Each structure stands twice: as structure tokens, then as C-alpha cells.
């Protein structure tokens, strides 16, 4: 991970740098927009449709997975730095970011496991990632929206992006369940690794709920974490 970032949290303890995480199609962008609007923070979107490699990746992942991941890594690094330094400079009250640079490693690893990124390119990707992430401050909280691979596939189909409807992974009705399931499993492993360092709040997202209700759950989880941490250090 990056290094701790105790300076973005406001004086009243409200997180100011928030990351929304989750598998493709789970509903991150919609939630990011709603939460940012509710908190009067700036939303920072994934901009997947602006990636010049995305359509090519779905058509021929073996050829395009690696350059696509390099593009996303660079994009998310810039987005992350913008969020942190804009908050600290007082230009924005806070930021809600749709996916993080750390999550990109999940996608790169799954593609390596599938053989669409060869091990040498994966190692090159990780070296660049390591150089970048050591310069980044960690978010105040990561909200993970959790839904089944089937639900994510259905929602991705509903948004009807042409590049996601027919893919070279072997499905002609959207992003394959197997690919989404692999991503979800990899997220589960990743979350257990980062949870001791970064506050992670897992939100069941099979059914959409009002953002105010979810934010209340996030604040409660953060309060419980703070009380537990204090109990470890106070006599």
C-alpha cells in the first residue's frame, strides 16, 4: 500500500478521501455520484469508456490486456494525486473516487492467470505500480460494493456498452460469469490483505439502497474500528 494519510480527515472525524470499490457492473459509478452529491464532495470517475484500449481488450484480450492496464494505472495515479492534493490545498471539501490504482492490480493479476498478460509483462506492470504506490497517501476509507457475478453481469448488460456485450472471452451475452467471478474472488483476497491498514466497509449491493442509509453504516463501521483501535492502546 501507500503511506498513511491522517491529514485528509476533517476535524470532526468525517472521511474526506473515499474510494468506492467493486467488480465491473456492480454500480460503483452511480453510487459514487450519489455519495459525492450527498456529501458535497467532488466525484472522480473511472472513465473506462475513455480508455482507448477497452474495446480492443474485449475483442482480443491477449493482445490488449497489458497496454490497457498500463493506461488505467497511469490514469488512476493522476486521479489519486489530484484528490489528495486538492483536499489538502483546500480546493475541494473532499473526494469520492470510483475505483483505485490498487484495484487495478486485481485485474492485471486475473489477466495474468488467464494467460492474457504474460508473466514478463505482469512483472513490468508490478514494478511500475510499486514505484507509483509508494508516493501515494492512503484513502480514509474504502467502501466495497458486494454483489454476485450474476448480478454484475446483468447490470453491465443493462447499461448496454457495446464493447461489453460481445467479448472474446467466449460469451456472446456480455462479460462472462467466469471472468466476473474470478475478479470477485480476487477482490475478497485483496480486501483481507488491506483491511488491517485501510478501513474497509463491505456493503451488500444485490439491492440498491438510499445513499444516506449506506453512509450511516459506513460511519458506524468507522466508529467501531476507532473504538477497537483505542482499546488496544489505552490502559
CB 24 within 8 A of CB 183: yes
Mean pLDDT of 67-86: 95
User: How much is the pLDDT for 166?
Assistant: 62
Query: Looking at residues 179-187, what average pLDDT do you find?
Result: 96
Would you say 153 and 174 are in contact if contact means Cβ atoms under 8 Å apart?
yes
User: pLDDT confidence of 122, banded at 50, 70, 90?
Assistant: very high
What is the band of 174 on the pLDDT scale with cuts at 50, 70, 90?
A: confident
Q: Give the whole-angstrom CA distance, residue 159 versus residue 178.
A: 20
Lookup: cell for 6: 491522517
Phi first, then psi, for residue 155 (nearest 5°) are -70, -35
Residue 11 lies in a domain: no
Residue 146 lies in a domain: yes
User: In angstroms, how far is CA 185 from the centroid of its own chain?
Assistant: 14
Which residue, among 173, 103, 183, has the nearest Cα to 149 in the 3D structure? Answer: 183
Tell me which residue range forms the domain holding 27. Answer: 17-233
Residue 2 inside a domain? The answer is: no
pTM of the model: 0.89
Mean pLDDT over 118-135 rounds to: 95
Q: Tell me what pLDDT residue 14 has.
A: 82
Q: What is the pLDDT of residue 233?
A: 44
Closest C-alpha to 19, from 79, 78, 68: 79
- What's the whole-number average pLDDT of the chain? 88
Active site residues: 98
Confidence of residue 34 (pLDDT cuts 50, 70, 90): very high
Report yes or no on 210 lying in a domain: yes
In a domain, 34, yes or no: yes
Tell whether 9 is covered by a domain: no
Number of domains the chain contains:
1
Is 142 within a domain?
yes
**Is 117 part of any domain?**
yes
CATH number of the domain where residue 48 is located = 3.40.50.300
How far is Cα 224 from Cα 92, in angstroms, rounded to an integer? 28
Amino acid at each position: 500500500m501507500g503511506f498513511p494519510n491522517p491529514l485528509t480527515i476533517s476535524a470532526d472525524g468525517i472521511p474526506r478521501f473515499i474510494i468506492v470499490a467493486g467488480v465491473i457492473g456492480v454500480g460503483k459509478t452511480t453510487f459514487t455520484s450519489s455519495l459525492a452529491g450527498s456529501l458535497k464532495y467532488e466525484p472522480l470517475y473511472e472513465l473506462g469508456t475513455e480508455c482507448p484500449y477497452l474495446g480492443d481488450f474485449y475483442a482480443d484480450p491477449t493482445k490488449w490486456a497489458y497496454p490497457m492496464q498500463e493506461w488505467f494505472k497511469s490514469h488512476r495515479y493522476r486521479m489519486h494525486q489530484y484528490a489528495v492534493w486538492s483536499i489538502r490545498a483546500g480546493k475541494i471539501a473532499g473526494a469520492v473516487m470510483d475505483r483505485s490504482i490498487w484495484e487495478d492490480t486485481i485485474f492485471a493479476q486475473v489477466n495474468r492467470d488467464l494467460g492474457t498478460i504474460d508473466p514478463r509483462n505482469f512483472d513490468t506492470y508490478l514494478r511500475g505500480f510499486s514505484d507509483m504506490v509508494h508516493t501515494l497517501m492512503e484513502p480514509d476509507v474504502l467502501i466495497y460494493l458486494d454483489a454476485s457475478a450474476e448480478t454484475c453481469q446483468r447490470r453491465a448488460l443493462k447499461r448496454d456498452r457495446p464493447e461489453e456485450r460481445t467479448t472474446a472471452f467466449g460469451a456472446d451475452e456480455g462479460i462472462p460469469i467466469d471472468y466476473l467471478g474470478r475478479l470477485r474472488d480476487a477482490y475478497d483476497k485483496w480486501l483481507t490483505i488491506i483491511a488491517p491498514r485501510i478501513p474497509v466497509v463491505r456493503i451488500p449491493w444485490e439491492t440498491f439502497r438510499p445513499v444516506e442509509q449506506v453512509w450511516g453504516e459506513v460511519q458506524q463501521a468507522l466508529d467501531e474500528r476507532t473504538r477497537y483501535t483505542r482499546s488496544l492502546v489505552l490502559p
